[in-house]
Amino acid sequence: MLSFVSYQKWLATRQCFHALKLIKRDCLPSLHTAGWASTAAVPRITTHYTIHPRDKDKRWEGINMERFAEEADVVIVGGGPAGLSAAIRLKQLAAEQGKEIRVCLVEKASQIGAHTLSGACLEPRSLEELFPDWKERGAPLHTPVTEDKFGILTKKSRIPVPILPGLPMVNHGNYIVRLGHFVRWLGEQAEALGVELYPGYAAAEVLFHEDGSVKGIATNDVGIQKDGAPKATFERGLELHAKVTVFAEGCHGHLAKQLYTKYNLREKCQPQSYGIGLKELWTIDEKKWKPGRVEHTVGWPLDRHTYGGSFLYHLNEGEPLVALGFVVGLDYQNPYLNPFREFQRWKHHPTVEPTLEGGKRIAYGARALNEGGLQSIPKLTFPGGLLIGCSPGLMNVPKIKGTHTAMKSGILASEAIFSQLTNENLQSKTIGLDVQEYEENLKKSWVWKELYSVRNIRPSCHSMLGVYGGMIYTGIFYWLLRGKEPWTLKHPGSDFAQLKPAKDCTPIEYPKPDGKISFDLLSSVALSGTNHEHDQPAHLTLKDDSIPVSRNLAVFDGPEQRFCPAGVYEYIPLETGEGSRLQINAQNCVHCKTCDIKDPSQNINWVVPEGGGGPAYNGM
């Protein structure tokens, strides 16, 4: 990491000059406040520079905005299964052919795997392609699936549903894993191959060449006060330039959103659809522990028109451990629905609670997941970059699995990138390489075939029968035709547009948590290890600070205070006693992205906080 040594020396020198400027600036109070005071009646909530540009803020006058730049062959944004698989495959190919390729991977979590959350039941197909000797290498796959159970819950009972051979829910040959531990292991393999891993560095900006192709990324600036002013410790982010930049941010990546717009990547696909997944880890009574058992349910406590369901996995990790969770489709209509409280209520079902009685909850977290399927996958390549993994939405929804497809996309991307990097006769039309072969190869692979075969299952849940209509469709058309039906169903539209006004919906009464099986939100967030530097601008930015009260609260009764699984959004009564204001508790954010997705006004824009902030999951 010699390059980063020179970067740190450069920062230290610049900070000396910066501190002197701040001392001089602070002697002139008028400059500190000029251009900042809000004349609007609405209290200012958002202070982030993406909403309030620094070139219009006098507090930033004279601040050195020069950035240190590094050159690499390939830069990868995101240290999840897709990004790490891409990095590993590039280095494997380089070693096989005796080539020198510099691969840099940036990850916003403080440690590789610390922001990873999934069920997770892993299909090892891509792992076997990447490392045929994964068992000898010590990959943390300790729990082969031994039993599959599926059922429909009513309020008091469970109706068992047989899992026929060939259906997506069959898990024979798969492994129950703690995905964060698996990702950490992938990171160790990548580093051993020579990949430069930079955890704690959040990619905040896409850089472009003059010809419009992607040049690389810039990591986020640090040392900014909550009100948006520079601290004495202000440091400009680092630029990483590359011939190809791979975006592997996971579901609803904030840089991918920008790329969709710039290159019109979603022109020929349907809007993406999402779910919010909430998860807990428990240690339970050993007598109730069934290592290798996989259980899924649909039905209660959700109605038939709200897509969702539960999972309960028995891990074999040296102690009686279970992973359990609940997924709610974010195309739900009732603004009073609270996914976290639905999850807590589900745990009290007569067929679930006995497993947890006498046990102890040890972890909690949440993350959005893609549910759009094949119809919602955007164009994957553009000059200078490409999208892999859950960023474009390669999850197999009825399987509830995306790790194997994400890893395979990373492998295919790297093979196409390597081919171009080592082609001495290549004539590129742009400075940043346009690796169109990646998308062509993905569409020829088993990934595309798999996603095509299940493309109609999720949208079939939008019939009058709801989720049960989807089950009937799966039982008839998928089981008989394996996805070969000559039609492709559509999604009804963007998730945020499905929410109905509060006046048209019935409030939902949720039982109080008992502190033994069900819990309150804040004690749950505490188990996620979430932490952010308090004195920094909130990374949950609002395009218009007035919208939360004037529209979201007035029309939808403030749904953000319910759909957020971390208590970030809170409506506080005004001191005058008339009306409310929105308070954003950004320190609580678990980086699930639900607010950016479900906000009915599309006024919330999630951006990265300072690198290293967020949850600190341990094997979630």
CATH number at residue 433: 3.50.50.60
Q: Which of 118, 297, 474, 528 is catalytic?
A: 118
Mean pLDDT of 457-479: 86
Q: Are residues 438 and 523 in the same domain?
A: no
Q: Are 228 and 38 in contact (CB under 8 A)?
A: no
200: how many CB neighbours lie within 10 A of its CB? 16
Task: Give one DSSP letter per residue of 325-387, joined into a string.
Answer: EEEEETT---TT--HHHHHHHHTTSTTTHHHHTT-EEEEEEEEEEE--GGGG----EETTEEE
Catalytic residue list contains 390: no
523 with 599, same domain: the answer is yes
Structure confidence at residue 279 as a pLDDT band (50, 70, 90) = very high
Catalytic residue status for 118: yes
* pLDDT the model gives residue 28: 35
Q: Which pairs count as long-range contacts for 316-321, CB under 8 Å and 24+ apart, including other chains?
A: 316/142, 316/143, 316/176, 316/291, 316/292, 317/142, 317/143, 317/178, 319/283, 320/283, 320/284, 320/285, 320/286, 320/288, 320/289, 321/281, 321/282, 321/283, 321/284, 321/289
Q: How confident is the model at residue 21 (pLDDT cuts 50, 70, 90)?
A: very low
Give pTM, 2 decimals.
0.93
Which of 406, 424, 454 delimits the end of a domain?
Answer: 454
The residue among 26 and 159 whose pLDDT is bigger is 159
| Residue 107 and residue 228 in one domain | yes
207-257 pLDDT, tens per residue? 999 999 999 999 999 999 999 999 999 999 999 999 999 999 999 999 999
Looking at the domain assignment, is residue 581 inside a domain? yes
> 186-190, 475-479, 614-618: lowest mean pLDDT where?
475-479
Please confirm, yes or no, whether 245 is among the known catalytic residues.
Answer: no
Q: What is the pLDDT of residue 34?
A: 32
Residue 334 lies in a domain: no
User: Which residues constitute the domain of residue 255?
Assistant: 69-141+177-270+376-454
Q: Look up 27 and say whether it is catalytic.
A: no
The Cα 451–Cα 475 span in angstroms is: 17
Query: Does 595 qualify as catalytic in the annotation?
Result: yes
Residue that is last in its domain, among 437, 454, 471: 454
Is 505 assigned a catalytic role?
Answer: no
Residue 487 within any structural domain of the chain: no
Task: List the alpha helices (DSSP H) in 144-235.
Answer: 179-192
> Does the residue 264 lie in any domain?
yes
d(CA 121, CA 369) in angstroms, rounded, equals 15
CATH of the domain at 540: 3.30.70.20
Mean pLDDT of 275-294: 98
Structure tokens given for 390: 């859950």
Q: Return d(Cα 3, Cα 75) in angstroms, integer.
A: 15
Active-site residue, 341 included: no
- pLDDT for residue 474: 82
Residue 486 within any structural domain of the chain:
no
> Which of the residues 355, 409, 592, 594 is marked catalytic?
592
pLDDT tens digits along 354-375: 999 999 999 999 999 999 999 9
pLDDT of residue 465: 85
* Residue after which a domain boundary falls, among 454, 475, 506: 454
Nearest to 81 by CA among 24, 127, 12: 127
pLDDT, position 16: 45
Contacts 24+ apart (CB under 8 A), 285-289: 285/320, 285/357, 285/358, 285/359, 286/320, 288/320, 288/354, 288/355, 289/314, 289/320, 289/321, 289/322
Same domain, 187 and 105: yes
**pLDDT band per the 50, 70, 90 thresholds, residue 39:** very low
Q: How many domains does the chain have?
A: 2
**Structure tokens that stand for 498 in this block:** 């499905």
> Greater confidence, 167 or 596?
596
Residues 562, 440 share a domain: no
Residue 494 included in any domain: no
pLDDT at residue 481, as a whole number: 80
pLDDT above 90 as % of the chain: 86
**What's the pLDDT score for residue 483?**
84
Q: What is the pLDDT of residue 43?
A: 80
User: Which residue is catalytic, options 121, 158, 564, 594?
Assistant: 564
Percent of the chain, pLDDT > 70?
Answer: 93
416 and 522 part of one domain = no
pLDDT at residue 7 in the model = 54
